[in-house]
Amino acid sequence: MAYSSALPPNKLILGIDPGTQVMGYGLIEVTGSKVQVLQFGVIHLKSYSNHAIKLKKIFDRMIQLIDEYLPDELAIESPFYGTNVQSMLKLGRAQGVAIAAALSRDIPYVEYAPKKIKQSITGNGNASKEQVASMLMQILKIQEVPKLLDATDALGVALCHHYQKGNNAKQGGKSWKSFLTDNPDRLASK
């Protein structure tokens, strides 16, 4: 029997819980079946009254995180449907800016519905933020719960992506060059 001395491949997943007041982020490293938290926190946006400035802050911080950690994939919570249309539009823009930052660095992204994330982490699609945070503390051996649960929500998105291995999710984010290579029939001819 031959043994391979190669280490198991590792993958870095950046999870995002989009928001226009507070945006959570969490970065995990997966090596084989081992999952380790590298970084998690929030982007505070409440002090900015101009929505365009908030979007720029989101983009800038996303680029900083991407350039510092070089994640392999972005997992992001998809917008949920609410009654306030203006809030939904703003949340969608925040999500779009986070995705655009990943795409600008050729990082593929996957969206997950909030219920899917909660189901994946706790076994209950209607779990509270506190229940998700409590389960993540156990799974990821986090010593202290952050003040803002948007950070643990983002870790939940990243861990959900690891558990799902990208299955049953909307894939996006291939580079334009990859898209053209994979779809030569989609090129317009002159």
Q: CA distances (Å), 142 to each of 134, 137, 152, 155, in order?
A: 9, 5, 10, 11
Asked if the model's pLDDT at residue 139 lies above 70, the reply is yes
Residue 3: inside a domain = no
Write down the pLDDT at residue 1.
47
29 in catalytic set: no
**Assigned domain for 22 exists:** yes
Q: pLDDT by residue (tens digit) across 157-166? A: 999 999 988 5
- The pTM assigned to this predicted structure is 0.82
Q: Give dist(CA 180, CA 174) in Å, integer.
A: 10
Work out the average pLDDT over 42-61: 95
Q: Is residue 120 a part of any domain in this protein?
A: yes
The arithmetic mean of pLDDT across residues 162-182, rounded, is 57
Residue 127 domain flag = yes
72 is catalytic: no
In which band, very low, low, confident or very high, does the pLDDT at 85 lie, cut at 50, 70 and 90?
confident
State the catalytic residue, choosing from 29, 77, 111, 153: 77
User: Is there a domain that residue 173 lies in?
Assistant: yes
